[in-house]
Structure formats: structure tokens, C-alpha cells
Amino acid sequence: MTLSEPVDVDMRGELTFLPVSGGRELSTLDVDPRWLDSEFRAEPRPERPLSELTRSGRPENECARWAAPS
């Protein structure tokens, strides 16, 4: 991402992994365990697709959904 000029507010982005339609999806064993812990508070094992993780580290279907206020 690039900006056309400096900003004077905090900017934040969110990373979301989507399931793939074909081929092998990246899993928790494919990424650095320190990154996995810092970003998702998750352990590499048991192995699971990254698309099943949320920021809490639990599978998407076990987490409450929320939306940031606009």
C-alpha cells in the first residue's frame, strides 16, 4: 500500500486469509511460529489452514464476529 501524501492519523490494516479454490493452502506450519503467535496468538500445532484463523487464534466458527464502528 502506498499513500500519495503523509497522514496525521493512525492507519491500521487487517490481514485476512481466504480459502483457496485449488491447490494447497498455507497452514500454520508454513509460517514463522513467532509471527503466528504475535499476529494470531496461535500455536503451529495442530496444523490448520491460515484461512481458519482469526485474530484470537481460534477457528473462525468459534469466534464472535464484530465490526469496527465507522
| pLDDT score recorded for residue 31 | 94
Domain positions in the chain: 26-56
What is the rounded average pLDDT of the residues 20-30? 91
Q: How many CA atoms lie within 13 A of 28 on its CB side?
A: 22
pLDDT for residue 48 is more than 90: yes
Across all residues in the chain, what is the average pLDDT?
77
Confidence of residue 40 (pLDDT cuts 50, 70, 90): confident
pLDDT for residue 34 is more than 50: yes
| pLDDT score recorded for residue 55 | 61
pLDDT for residue 24 is more than 80: yes
Distance between CA atoms of residues 25 and 23, nearest Å: 7
